[in-house]
Structure 1
Amino acid sequence: MADYRDYNKANWDERVPVHVASPDYHVEQFLADPSYLSGVVRFDLPRLGDVSGLRGVHLQCHIGTDTVSLARLGARMSALDFSAPAIEHARSLAGRLGLSLDAHVADVYDAVRVLGAASYDFVYTGIGALCWLPDIERWASVVAGLLKPGGRLFLREGHPMLASLEPGTDYAEVRYPYFEVPEPVVWEGGGTYVETDLELRTTTTHEWNHGLGQVISAVQQAGLTFDSLSEHDSAPLERAPRADDRGCDR
């Protein structure tokens, strides 16, 4: 029986060229404008603060648009993703932009072994990353292992309540687990979350939700000090995605 990573990796490998070509990732704008930053990082700036001169790592970086945005802000960035095509593109994009990027293909749970313990001033992870992981406590221990003393985690994630909803004609129904459970929610769908006419061939994904309290508790149990929480009333994805195109974005 295939591991959940086999299903998810095949799906994300196939998404890479689709996302690179989509206008939603703004690759051409990165190349044309030396000051351009991803919409995700622009939104995060008021809370992220000054990262210039800091050593950071972006976990589950996908094609690297947020990672190179942080590098453009002066951070010395590493990047990690389980998709080799995604890392290949992240390296290529950084090179074309004249930026240094230390990029690695690895599962996020192996990040300390691959990147080195206590090596980073900050860990960055963005929207739609945690749903691909079955164990939030194990993830938090990885984050803690990567950080230098005094280092910090910056996490911006889709609200777990959103992931528990099934859209209806007039309302959304709570249909899926809000809290982390052992068994994944298995999705079948050929779409993705960007503007494209292409249909994916690898359509099975395995996902897990993690309740807000579970995420906070996991970070605290890993030895980090939880210091702030903001809940937003918007998300950069459909609030109620179609049943045949479910799946959190990254």
Structure 2
Amino acid sequence: MTDSFALNKANWDERAVLHAASPDYDATRFAADPAHLSSVVRFDRPRLGDLTGLRGVHLQCHIGTDTVSLSRLGAAMTGLDFSGTALAEARRLAEAAGASIDFHEANVYDAVEVLGAGRFDLVYTGIGALCWLPSAARWAAVVAGLLRPGGRLFIREGHPMLWSLDDRTDLAVPRYSYFEHAEPLVFDSPETYIAVERPLENTVTHEWNHSLGEIITALLDHGLSLTGFTEHDSVPWNALPGQMVLDEATGEWRLKDTPSRLAATYTLQAVKTG
């Protein structure tokens, strides 16, 4: 598994610099507008509720746009990512935005060892994170380890139905496994999911899908109780080029033809029981 993480880290180190400069992440707006929130956090703002005074950790925080946004909603945030390059960009963003955030470089599976057990009121995971992890059960153990009793997990993620599709083929024919698989899916692409100034050089990535049942069961097995679950027909990037249209009001993409055919993302909340 070390090779998979090394390959993915090289890819994300390169993406981080390109993403920080991309207009799609709009990083400069965080300094210009003290009230600005990332589109991902804005989408779930009604579900997040009052975060004032909560101690939160954002796992796989990338360049920190969602982390800063959660801080602006009142949480005392920690960010963790395996890419030191991404964290350098996240620290620059936080400083420019006037946000005090504690960033740590580590594999998400090592988060409890690095950050300490039972320290957090909120564990947040943003979209496009779980597909880089081979085991949903190991991830759920980390979430449970980080949360205090009564603490909450909040995750918005790409739907495994979406991840099973090949963006180059007909939607009616899923190509990839819906269920968790031992061997990674290997992709080789010079593109990232947003507009960037040049193609990637570290093009190979390893990814995994996890079914909704596997994710929810893993959380239940590690002492969390499901408190909220919503599926959405939209996603915050053009996941299926040529088949989706942008909703300018929300910044979300959905199928241009009968969007209700596809569960594209979901928002899940769970609480660690005493």
TM value normalised by structure 2: 0.85
Cα deviation for residue 238 of structure 1 reads: 2.5
Label 1:167 to 1:26 Cα distance change in 2 as closer, same or farther (>3 A): closer
For 2:118 and 2:151, how far apart are their aligned partners in 1? 9
For 2:167 and 2:129, how far apart are their aligned partners in 1? 22
Answer whether contact 1:167 1:173 (CA < 8 A) is retained: no
Alignment of 1:148-187 (within 5 A): 148-168=148-168, 171-187=171-187
For 1:82 and 1:197, how far apart are their aligned partners in 2? 24
Label 1:96 to 1:177 Cα distance change in 2 as closer, same or farther (>3 A): same
Which 10-residue stretch deviates more, 191-200 or 118-127?
191-200
Label 1:230 to 1:32 Cα distance change in 2 as closer, same or farther (>3 A): same
Aligned residues: 242
Deviation by residue 1:214-240 (Cα, 9 ceiling, x = unmatched)? 110011001111121100111112242
Cα deviation for residue 96 of structure 1 reads: 1.8
Percent of aligned pairs sharing the same letter: 61
Gaps of 5+ in 2: 243-274
Where 1:173 maps in the other structure, the secondary structure is coil
2:51 matched to which residue of 1? 51
Deviation by residue 1:43-67 (Cα, 9 ceiling, x = unmatched)? 1111111101100000000000000
Deviation by residue 1:116-154 (Cα, 9 ceiling, x = unmatched)? 000000000010000000000000000000001100100
Label 1:32 to 1:3 Cα distance change in 2 as closer, same or farther (>3 A): same
For 2:73 and 2:84, how far apart are their aligned partners in 1? 25
Where 2:153 maps in the other structure, the secondary structure is strand
For 2:93 and 2:28, how far apart are their aligned partners in 1? 10
- Does residue 226 of structure 1 match 2:231? no
1:27 matched to which residue of 2? 27
For 2:168 and 2:146, how far apart are their aligned partners in 1? 42
Label 1:195 to 1:140 Cα distance change in 2 as closer, same or farther (>3 A): same
Alignment of 1:183-194 (within 5 A): 183-194=183-194
Answer whether contact 2:193 2:239 (CA < 8 A) is retained: no
Which 10-residue stretch deviates more, 58-67 or 171-180?
171-180
What is the Cα-based RMSD across aligned positions, in Å? 1.4
Give the number of the structure whose residues are more often helix, by fraction. 1
1:134 matched to which residue of 2? 134
Where 1:180 maps in the other structure, the secondary structure is coil
Gaps of 5+ in 1: 243-250
Cα deviation for residue 194 of structure 1 reads: 1.1
Which 10-residue stretch deviates more, 95-104 or 30-39?
95-104
Cα deviation for residue 30 of structure 1 reads: 0.8
For 2:175 and 2:7, how far apart are their aligned partners in 1? 23
For 2:224 and 2:196, how far apart are their aligned partners in 1? 40
Cα deviation for residue 91 of structure 1 reads: 1.4
